[in-house]
């Protein structure tokens, strides 16, 4: 209440204060997004995960470093302290929403089938890894706090408990990225790491619920711990089972919304709702978000949800990591005792995961190297560890210095592991004592295409047919495009590998996949036959030289680039037929240094293939042989004159006297066609053709096209 003010004045003051807060938040978000992106890209270029760059960005711009520097219009700095807490309630609220989105996405990405395929070894590795990490992380908190903080914490005190929980979580994303780069995602080691990491996250979140319940209970008794454990596990299992059982129904409900963006937004709203329910039940919100993602992971709309939430994720998740960095007090980390504490704690976390996950793997037919690789793959902490640390700090259960130490541990393990895991996976030494053939239920179908153009056409038609059949499609670039198609229980992966079209799907649906592909080929063949019988298709070629858009008041459209794009020229071709003329002009490009001699044959094949489809002999003595080819990496053009003419199969049956040969990269379409249209505009009328044919030197011929 503002004393001495009327209600109207009081309201105006409150509105002014609110606008001031919102304005500050707008500036803060702008700086956070730009800083997080810049540091993320910088760290990726140094081959470190971008999450580390986002954390560093938060540390730099946060209140403990540059955030409180006085700026014009910001007397307390852009990121002032909010009382005893480093960031404002509004900013931390946005970070919390981002953490819910992050765990919801992690649940959506959990492959339950992959998890079950190595569930036994993955479960054992994950469970023992969690036990080792939690116990040794907790003990490290007890003894290190006693030695370096003069604090006599017991094993069940919130600070050691949180240090134990923080040490349990494995970053699935970081390990998966390295496995993907090394093409080891489907290997026994890769599947074991991913399965164990999923178990880690599930158990870590359950342990977090137990720790929060114990800490909020105000006292510690084993009967109380047992009750909290039963409650956490019971609610977890009950809600998870209900979610998985009703996943099909939830998917059908979402599909009734009609459009994909609405499905994605409504699913995220459901994640927020379940997150709130778990918070009200005395557990962390991220648990509910993860369960909702897990429940929808088996539906055919999961890929669509992930795709349409991607932009929201790119906006919010870097904000979360940046805000987590803002909570770090560098003075606390670089104090002598805290630095030793953090270093020893990181070593304990590193060793506990390595030993706790390697030992059980040795009992499941993995060699020592294979077991050690699994242990290394389980070391990096990341998103979940940061979220757990943030929950502990915001709830007042751990102090700032302990939070900073947890960030330091996360930073160290995340930086070291990718390089170490890459080296381990790069070895050719066996990972298993005895190689096993995994009896999978995936049918691999391979179809060879005659050329790349046909392959792309068949792929696009196949994807369109799948969408018409009710499949939901998600494209991933890793690095070449991979298309994941889902329809109820059918999951199909489609990729184009050169001229080979690869389709992988469930073995019991192999006949369905073959039938679908056969129908696509039959429909395309029928379409091609109808195109061949298309009346008046020759008129399309004639219209290239009749289109008024190529001229302006009778003058050719100028282009400063035309001269530069003509790479070679000859005013006196010696070729006697079309084939020889094309070969001679390719030799001109080789002599001019615009075509590699070793790729000449490839370029020739591509041009002849285009000529076979339909002659490029146009009319009025002009021929424009061309092709998209991998023989060049930019547009190259050669112009040649054959004054007595060559039979090019032209539309008007006249011999070709002006031959314009163009090569363009496979990936280029519009600039390539635009360039050819410009070349055609130079010779579309009698005046232009006469000027070109009067050229006596290659230089003069090039200049005729440029002017």
Residue 298 lies in a domain: yes
**For the packed helices 89-108 and 260-280, what is the interaxial angle rounded to 10 degrees?**
110
Count the domains in the chain.
Answer: 3
Lowest mean pLDDT among 58-67, 396-405, 665-674: 665-674
Q: Quick check: is 279 in a domain?
A: yes
634 in the same domain as 490: no
CATH of the domain at 478: 3.30.160.110
336, 475: one domain:
no
One domain for residues 77 and 123? yes
Q: What is the pLDDT of residue 139?
A: 92
The answer to whether residues 130 and 199 touch, using CB atoms and an 8 Å cutoff, is: yes
Q: What is the pLDDT of residues 301-320, one digit of tens each?
A: 887 888 888 889 888 888 88
* Burial 305-325, CB ≥16 within 10 A → b, else e: bbbbbeebeeebbbbbbbbbb
The CATH number of the domain holding residue 110 is 1.20.1530.20
Question: Are residues 472 and 403 part of one domain?
Answer: no
Determine, yes or no, domain membership for 451. yes
Kindly indicate the confidence band of residue 273, based on its pLDDT and cuts at 50, 70 and 90.
Answer: very high
Domain of 680, in residue numbers? 542-706
110-119, 131-140, 155-164: which range is least confident on average?
Answer: 110-119
Q: Is there a single domain that holds both residue 477 and residue 580?
A: no
* Helix H or strand E encompassing 429: none
- Residues 503 and 585 occupy one common structural domain: no
Same domain, 455 and 415: no
Same domain, 489 and 595: no
For residues 434 and 390, the model is more confident at 390
25 in any annotated domain: no
| Residues above pLDDT 90, as percent of the chain | 14
| pLDDT at residue 550, as a whole number | 39
Q: What is the mean pLDDT of residues 370-379?
A: 89
**Together in a domain, 512 and 549:** no
Residue 74: predicted pLDDT: 87
Contact in structure between 463 and 469 (CB atoms under 8 Å): no
Question: Considering 527, 551, 582, which residue would you say is the last residue of a domain?
Answer: 527
Q: Tell me the HSE value of 557 on the side-chain side, using a 13 A CA sphere.
A: 15
- The last residue of a domain, from among 400, 425, 450: 425
Q: How many CA atoms lie within 13 A of 147 on its CB side?
A: 15
Task: Tell me, yes or no, whether 499 and 554 share the same domain.
Answer: no
Average the pLDDT over each of 132-136, 180-184, 280-284 and give the range with the smallest value: 180-184
Q: Which helix (H) or strand (E) holds 473?
A: strand 472-477
R_g over Cα of the chain: 33
Least confident stretch, 70-74, 179-183, 411-415, 678-682: 179-183
Same domain, 335 and 478: no
| C-alpha distances in Å from residue 564, one per residue of 568, 592, 681 | 10, 13, 16
> Quick one: average pLDDT of 496-508?
77
What are the residues whose beta carbons fall under 8 Å from the beta carbon of 169, sequence distance 6 or more? 200, 201, 204, 381, 382, 384, 385, 388
Q: End-to-end CA distance of the chain, in Å?
A: 79
d(CA 192, CA 322): 31
Question: Residue 592 belongs to a domain with what CATH number?
Answer: 3.40.930.10
The pLDDT of residue 668 is above 70: no
| Segment among 189-198, 211-220, 390-399 with least mean pLDDT | 211-220
Q: Would you call the peptide bond into 479 cis, given omega within 30 degrees of 0 as the criterion?
A: yes
552, pLDDT greater than 60: no
Q: How confident is the model at residue 16, as a pLDDT?
A: 75
Q: pLDDT exceeding 70 applies to what percent of the chain? A: 82
> If you average pLDDT over every residue of the chain, what do you get?
79
Domain boundary among 378, 399, 425: 425
Mean pLDDT in residue range 545-560 = 40
Residue 23 is assigned to a structural domain of this protein: no
Instruction: Determine, yes or no, domain membership for 587.
Output: yes
* Residues 537, 539, 541, 544, Cα dihedral to 10°: -140
d(CA 120, CA 361): 11
Say if 402 falls within a structural domain.
yes
The residue-averaged pLDDT of 142-160 equals: 83
pLDDT band (50, 70, 90) for residue 116:
low
Residue 27 is assigned to a structural domain of this protein: no
510 and 550 share a domain? no
CA atoms 271, 276, 281, 286: torsion sign: positive
pLDDT band at 384 (very low <50, low <70, confident <90, very high): low
Q: How many angstroms separate the CA atoms of 179 and 193, rounded?
A: 9
CA dist 66 → 335, 402, 587, 655 (Å): 19, 22, 62, 75
Whether pLDDT at 327 is above 90: no
Q: Reduce the DSSP state of residue 609 to 3 states and report it.
A: helix
Residue 568's H or E segment, with its range, is strand 566-570
Residue 399, by phi and psi: left (phi above 0), alpha (psi -120 to 50) or beta?
beta
What is the per-residue pLDDT for 36? Answer: 92
What pLDDT does 237 receive? 79
């Amino acid at each position: 209440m503002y004393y001495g003010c009327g209600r109207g004045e009081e309201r105006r003051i409150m509105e002014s204060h609110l606008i001031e807060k919102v304005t500050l938040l707008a500036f803060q978000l702008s700086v956070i997004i730009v800083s997080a992106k810049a540091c993320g890209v910088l760290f990726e270029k140094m081959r470190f995960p971008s999450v580390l760059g986002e954390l560093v960005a938060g540390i730099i711009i946060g209140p403990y470093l540059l955030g409180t520097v006085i700026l014009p219009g910001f007397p307390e700095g852009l990121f002032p302290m909010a009382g005893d807490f480093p960031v404002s309630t509004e900013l931390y609220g946005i970070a919390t929403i981002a953490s819910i989105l992050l765990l919801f996405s992690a649940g959506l990405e959990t492959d339950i089938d992959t998890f079950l395929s190595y569930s036994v070894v993955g479960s054992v590795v994950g469970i023992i890894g969690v036990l080792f990490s939690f116990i040794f992380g907790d003990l490290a908190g007890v003894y290190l706090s006693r030695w370096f903080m003069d604090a006599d914490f017991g094993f069940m005190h919130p600070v050691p408990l949180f240090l134990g929980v923080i040490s349990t979580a494995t970053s699935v994303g970081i390990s998966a990225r390295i496995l993907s780069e090394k093409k080891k995602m489907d290997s026994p080691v890769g599947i074991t790491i991913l399965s164990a990491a999923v178990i880690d996250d599930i158990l870590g979140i359950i342990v977090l619920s137990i720790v929060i319940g114990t800490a909020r209970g105000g006292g510690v008794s084993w009967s109380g711990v047992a009750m909290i454990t039963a409650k956490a596990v019971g609610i977890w299992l009950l809600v998870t089972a209900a979610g998985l059982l009703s996943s099909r129904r939830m998917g059908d409900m979402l599909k009734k919304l009609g459009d994909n963006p609405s499905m994605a937004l409504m699913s995220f709203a459901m994640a927020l709702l379940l997150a709130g329910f778990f918070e009200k039940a005395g557990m962390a919100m991220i648990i509910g978000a993860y369960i909702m993602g897990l429940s929808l992971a088996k539906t055919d709309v999961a890929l669509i949800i992930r795709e349409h939430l991607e932009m929201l994720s790119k906006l919010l998740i870097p904000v979360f990591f940046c805000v987590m960095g803002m909570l770090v007090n560098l003075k606390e980390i670089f104090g002598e005792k805290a630095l030793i504490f953090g270093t020893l704690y990181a070593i304990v976390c590193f060793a506990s995961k390595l030993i706790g996950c390697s030992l059980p793997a040795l009992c499941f037919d993995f060699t020592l190297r294979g077991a050690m690789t699994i242990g290394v793959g389980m070391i990096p902490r990341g998103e979940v560890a940061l979220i757990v640390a943030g929950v502990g700090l915001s709830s007042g259960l751990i102090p700032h210095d302990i939070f900073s130490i947890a960030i330091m541990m996360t930073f160290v393990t995340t930086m070291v592991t990718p390089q170490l895991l890459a080296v381990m996976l790069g070895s050719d030494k066996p990972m298993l004592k005895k190689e096993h053939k995994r009896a999978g239920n995936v049918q691999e179908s391979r179809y060879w295409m005659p050329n790349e153009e046909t392959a792309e056409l068949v792929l696009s038609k196949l994807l369109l047919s799948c969408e018409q059949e009710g499949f939901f499609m998600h494209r991933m670039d890793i690095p070449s495009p991979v298309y994941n198609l889902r329809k109820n229980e059918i999951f199909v992966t489609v990729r184009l590998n050169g001229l080979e079209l690869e389709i992988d799907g469930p073995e019991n649906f192999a006949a369905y996949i073959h039938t679908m592909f056969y129908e696509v080929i039959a429909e395309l063949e029928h379409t091609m036959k109808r195109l061949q019988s298309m009346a008046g298709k020759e008129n399309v070629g004639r219209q290239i030289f009749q289109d008024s858009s190529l001229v302006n008041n009778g003058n050719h459209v100028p282009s400063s680039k035309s001269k530069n794009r003509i790479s070679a020229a000859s005013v006196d071709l010696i070729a006697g037929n079309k084939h020889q003329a094309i070969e001679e002009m390719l030799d001109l490009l080789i002599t001019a240094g615009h075509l590699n001699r070793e790729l000449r044959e490839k370029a020739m094949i591509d041009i002849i293939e285009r000529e076979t489809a339909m002659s490029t002999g146009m009319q009025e003595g002009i021929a424009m042989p061309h092709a998209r080819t991998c023989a060049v990496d930019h547009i190259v053009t050669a112009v040649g004159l054959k004054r007595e003419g060559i039979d090019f199969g032209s539309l008007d049956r006249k011999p070709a006297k002006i031959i314009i040969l163009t090569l363009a990269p496979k990936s280029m379409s519009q600039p390539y066609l635009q360039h050819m249209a410009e070349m055609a505009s130079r010779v579309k009328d009698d005046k232009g053709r006469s000027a070109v044919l009067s050229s006596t030197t290659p230089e003069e011929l090039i200049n005729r096209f440029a002017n």
